[in-house]
Amino acid sequence: MFELRLSDPVMAVIEYPDVARVTILDPEDESQIFFSDSEYRVSEDIGEILIPIKRIGDVSDETMVICSTVQGRW
């Protein structure tokens, strides 16, 4: 983000607003979150599994991901 400010006019008068704020949006650089693989298989008695989540793109802002499980049949 940056600001443009009008100043030192020649044969003119500066009126309000004399400042413009410019934000450059780059949707191609937005943060993307995804699983490393699309399928994981574990033994029923494993007790716990850690599944990596990858993040690419703009990682300068904080992001939150909520994950949950649903009982079902495959």
Average pLDDT of span 1-5: 90
What's the pLDDT at 20?
A: 94
pLDDT digits (tens, 9 = 90+) for 17-65: 999 998 887 777 778 899 988 888 888 888 888 888 999 888 888 888 8
Residue 73 pLDDT > 70, yes or no? Answer: no
What's the pLDDT at 64?
A: 84
What is the model's pTM?
A: 0.50
Q: What is the dihedral of CA 49, 54, 55, 61, to 10 degrees?
A: 20
